[in-house]
Chains A and B, each alone.
Chain A
Amino acid sequence: MKTVFVLALGLILAATPLSGHHSFAAEYEADKPVTVSGTVSTILWANPHIYFTVDVKGEAGKVTQWRFEGYPPNMLIRQGWKRDVTLKPGMAITVSGWRSRLDPSHGAGRQVTFADGSKLWVGPPAGTGGQ
């Protein structure tokens, strides 16, 4: 199974020369998707990736702060995002993405679902590029 995964990973890496990537597979686990819901607490709108945190309430009211990486600001702007408008502290959102290999509450963000049900891409698909 591990061999199959490594082979598949090799094929993905070899077959995506045009995706422009920053080593997704080194940092994140494409076979470990994660989805969390919570309240946006911070947003770092910076290059080469934005970062935002989401406070997620767990059992017995325990709050875990998840931190997600996303596209660079320019790529978000070109997809319709607006700084300080689209994503703001206090918003209730659901984020889907993939788990970090290093930190159990860190991830690569892929999609954000807002309270009204609308969805936006916040980061690249697994294994490909953002910057």
Chain B
Amino acid sequence: MRRPLEWLAAIVVVLIVASMPSSAQRGTALPSGSKPIPRAANGRPDLSGVWIAGGLALLFGEAEAEAIRKADAAAGRPPLPPPEPPPYKPEAEAIRQQYLARRGIDDPMARCLLSGVPRITVRPLPFEIIQLPGRIVILYEVHHAFRFIPTDGRPHPDDVEPSYLGDSVGHWEGDTLVVDVTSFNTNTWLAGVGSIHSDKLRVTERYTRDTHDTIVYEATMEDPEVLTKPWKQYATLRLRPGERIREYECLENNEDIVRFEKLLQTDPIFKKP
């Protein structure tokens, strides 16, 4: 009885090792003594947990930020590519420049409107990934938003309405979860002031858990109406053990909206050209 089980265990180990080249190709190494990447029953990395992106010092204070930077250095993690400006067509870039000149006062997020993808991922509030067989659920603290990401091979539904978060379907490529997101409305900014898009936007997200504590997040935005080529954004998502998603009702007391109205009426920089 034991021999078949041992063989099965050996096969599982081989499959797990064989499915790990993506992290090896990245040139990253686990820090010594760190925990192994947890795996689901199908051998894929289990992304379940509470994660957060964003500026370290902003989120955790200087001391913890420094500790995380040291752990990154010890792990040999390469720095993420620097942010690049959106490769906009001239007409779209002109619109972005107008928004920049207006100092972000038009930001949909400042009015508590749901952020889209990928912006919602990099907001400085945590989200929880719940990985189930055939489906991944992401619960975002910000906006109380959620995404259902089928991973059972089904296509996008054919009756999808344009929406803030679009429609997501996922699949695995080695150790990387790849999520195809389509059917967006045009009410969101992609990744910064004035980063507009059309309803032709398609976002491909790649979630690669490269260590126990981190996911390398890569979002490729394609939009033939406003972009000249695909635009990529990267973030390091960090596991927050012991953290939980809390309530965050953005409209509770959003005084910004009132002040924006005053500024729009009184401040010359907001006069439309």
Chain A contact residues, CB within 8 Å of chain B: 6, 9-10, 13-27, 44, 46-49, 51, 69, 72, 74-75, 77-79, 100-102, 121, 124-125, 128-131
Contacts and interface: CB of A to CB of B under 8 A. Distances in A.
Interface stretch (B9-17, B101-109, B168-176, B180-188): B101-109
B103 A13 contact: yes
Contact of A48 (B101, B105, B195, B254): B254
Contacts of A16: 192
B252 A48 contact: yes
B241 to A, nearest CB: 13
Interface string B246-273: 1011111111100110110011001000
A22 B103 CA distance: 10
Interface stretch (B22-30, B51-59, B155-163, B202-210): B51-59
Interface of B: 53-55, 58-61, 83, 85, 100-105, 107, 109-110, 112, 119, 122-125, 141-142, 191-193, 195, 233, 235, 243, 246, 248-256, 259-260, 262-263, 266-267, 270
Given A13-B100, A23-B105, A47-B248, A131 B124 contact: yes
Given A25-B103, A78-B243, A128 B58 contact: yes
Contacts of B262: 102
10 contacts: A13-B100, A13-B192, A21-B104, A26-B102, A26-B104, A47-B251, A48-B248, A101-B267, A125-B58, A131-B124
Given A75-B124, A131-B124, A13 B58 contact: no
A69 B259 CA distance: 12
A10 B100 contact: yes
A78 B256 contact: no
A20 B54 contact: yes
Nearest to B52: A78
A22 B107 contact: yes
B100 A131 contact: no
A131 B142 contact: yes
Contacts of B112: 48
A25 B104 contact: yes
Of the listed residues A20, A24, A74, the one surrounded by the most CB atoms of chain B closer than 10 A to its CB is A20
Nearest to A24: B104
A49 B123 contact: no
Most buried by B among A9, A19, A130: A19
Contacts of B191: 17-18
B192 A46 contact: no
B58 A27 contact: no
A51 B256 CA distance: 12
A25 B194 CA distance: 14
A26 B103 contact: yes
B183 to A, nearest CB: 23
